[in-house]
Amino acid sequence: MVNPTSLKRHLNKGYQRLLARLDNACEKQPEHAGAANGAHISTTDPNASVVRRGGGKSRLKYQVHRVVDERCEIITATEVTNGSVHEAHRMDSLLDAHAHNTGVSAEFSDADSKHGIIENYLGCHDRGVKSHFVSLELGQRGSGRQSEILPKESFTYDEAADCFVCPAGERLTRRRFNSQRQQWECTASKRMCSRCGLQLQCTRSKAERSLKRHLRQPALDKMLSQAESSQGRADRKTRQHLMGRSLARGTRYGIKQAHWRRLWRIEIQEYLTATIQNMVLLTRYLKEPLRALSAALSPAADRGSSQKLNRWRIPAPRTIATLTRHMAALKCVSLSRKFTALRFA
């Protein structure tokens, strides 16, 4: 690790070789988020980000994002990003990848509360996908400065006057518009809030209470109601063990360790891991033994012999393992052809 803001970086040979590679037209400067990534960069793997999970130490990490089918637990889409990318910002691309790979749009989307942002709700609404993930704002309610504060549901919205009405009967009208977030900020007058007996229960601010209303608030309310439905709560419980099993199966194939360096190599590792997991799951739904596959992978078939095999031949115990290695080899060949034009670092 090298601090790019320190003068000692010029004495590091690894950092000098990194700058030479970044000067090439085929390689771009990696983008990372966070203060730690602004002060440190890896000379051997610049695509990885410095991330700290929980109370552990900061480490170079990548992050895997997956879409898993509810019925058969098949991985339908996967992405790999550096560790500093927030997983909530990958939902749109994963839904598009799922529709492209399967030819069918998702019926509903379920995720943890980190994905419960306005952009994801509206994205699901535009795609016709039901949102069964809880709101991030709802999960953070009652903590920090919002502790023992009246929630937004305590205020009523007057559509005719286009304003909120507080429990004391005062109106919160439009004040400012945030063009980036596409929402209005509605506030009451400071004089009315200072005289109100519910001020201590209403806001921690020294000024007035404010509420946000999005330009597409009706569509947002519809998606939030789907998230709080009985089916949405049931799907969130299903997701807990569904994604847990998928990641646990991937642990057998080293999903928690980056066996290579650079982002595109980690993508190949994830594609191979997801392919093997899917093949193991798909073998459960075969109606007949793998006689045809066993014949195709036999030495006689490899030599091009026309010898007929016994019709009732029982496949070898390691037929599935052989098939898995065979399919993984084909995947490696196809991926290697795809990246032959790249200049390896």
pLDDT digits (tens, 9 = 90+) for 303-312: 443 333 333 3
CA-CA distance, 210 to 188, in Å (whole number)? 7
Same domain membership, residue 236 and residue 192: no
In the three-class reduction of DSSP (H, G, I as helix; E, B as strand; rest coil), residue 109 is classed as: strand
Same domain membership, residue 81 and residue 200: no
What pLDDT, on the 0 to 100 scale, is given for residue 220? 92
Reply yes or no on whether the pLDDT at 29 is more than 60.
no
Same domain membership, residue 269 and residue 327: yes
What's the structural domain count of the chain? 4
Element (H, E) at 63: strand 59-68
Same domain membership, residue 229 and residue 135: yes
18, part of any domain? yes
The residue out of 44, 59, 74 marking a domain boundary is 59
Same domain membership, residue 316 and residue 285: yes
Neighbours of 48 (CB within 10 A): 24
173, part of any domain? yes
CA-CA distance, 69 to 110, in Å (whole number)? 11
Res. 297 pLDDT band, cuts 50 70 90: low
What pLDDT, on the 0 to 100 scale, is given for residue 215? 92
Reply yes or no on whether the pLDDT at 259 is more than 80.
yes
What pLDDT, on the 0 to 100 scale, is given for residue 11? 56
What pLDDT, on the 0 to 100 scale, is given for residue 70? 86
| pLDDT digit string, tens, across residues 151-174 | 888 899 998 888 999 888 888 899
Percent of the chain at pLDDT above 90? Answer: 22
Same domain membership, residue 270 and residue 179: no
Which CA distances in Å does 149 have to 18, 45, 154, 162, 205?
Answer: 51, 46, 10, 23, 11
CA-CA distance, 108 to 175, in Å (whole number)? 36
Reply yes or no on whether the pLDDT at 9 is more than 70.
no
1, part of any domain? no
Same domain membership, residue 318 and residue 200: no
> CA geometry: angle at 62 spanning 324 and 84, to 5°?
150
What pLDDT, on the 0 to 100 scale, is given for residue 45? 80
Contact 172/166 with Cβ under 8 angstroms?
Answer: yes
244, part of any domain? yes
Which amino acid, one-letter code, is at 69? D
CA-CA distance, 151 to 141, in Å (whole number)? 8
In the three-class reduction of DSSP (H, G, I as helix; E, B as strand; rest coil), residue 178 is classed as: strand
| pLDDT digit string, tens, across residues 199-214 | 888 888 877 888 899 9
Contact 63/81 with Cβ under 8 angstroms?
Answer: yes
Q: What is the domain extent for residue 228? A: 63-139+221-251
322, part of any domain? yes
Go through 303-335 and write b for each residue having 16 or more CB atoms within 10 A of its CB, e for each that does not: eeeeeeeeeeeebeeebbebbbeeebeebeeee
Reply yes or no on whether the pLDDT at 287 is more than 50.
yes
By C-alpha distance, which of 104, 72, 109 is closest to 90? 109
Reply yes or no on whether the pLDDT at 232 is more than 50.
yes
What pLDDT, on the 0 to 100 scale, is given for residue 183? 92
Same domain membership, residue 97 and residue 69: yes
| Lowest model confidence (mean pLDDT) among 86-90, 140-144, 182-186, 230-234 | 140-144
Res. 296 pLDDT band, cuts 50 70 90: low
What pLDDT, on the 0 to 100 scale, is given for residue 203? 84
- Cβ partners under 8 Å of residue 53, min gap 6: 61
| Lowest model confidence (mean pLDDT) among 117-126, 204-213, 255-264, 320-329 | 320-329
What pLDDT, on the 0 to 100 scale, is given for residue 142? 66
Res. 23 pLDDT band, cuts 50 70 90: low
CA-CA distance, 151 to 158, in Å (whole number)? 17
Which CA distances in Å does 345 have to 17, 18, 27, 44, 217?
Answer: 10, 10, 9, 10, 48
Reply yes or no on whether the pLDDT at 101 is more than 60.
yes
**Average pLDDT of the residues of the chain:** 77
What pLDDT, on the 0 to 100 scale, is given for residue 26? 46
What pLDDT, on the 0 to 100 scale, is given for residue 80? 92
Neighbours of 344 (CB within 10 A): 9
Same domain membership, residue 100 and residue 238: yes
What pLDDT, on the 0 to 100 scale, is given for residue 210? 87
What pLDDT, on the 0 to 100 scale, is given for residue 294? 54
Same domain membership, residue 276 and residue 243: no
Most confidently predicted of 23-27, 36-40, 83-87, 307-311 = 83-87
In the three-class reduction of DSSP (H, G, I as helix; E, B as strand; rest coil), residue 185 is classed as: strand
| pLDDT digit string, tens, across residues 30-81 | 556 555 565 667 777 878 888 877 777 778 888 899 999 888 889 999 999 9
311, part of any domain? yes
Provide the β-strand partners of residue 51.
Answer: 59
| Lowest model confidence (mean pLDDT) among 115-129, 206-220, 299-313, 325-339 | 299-313
194, part of any domain? yes
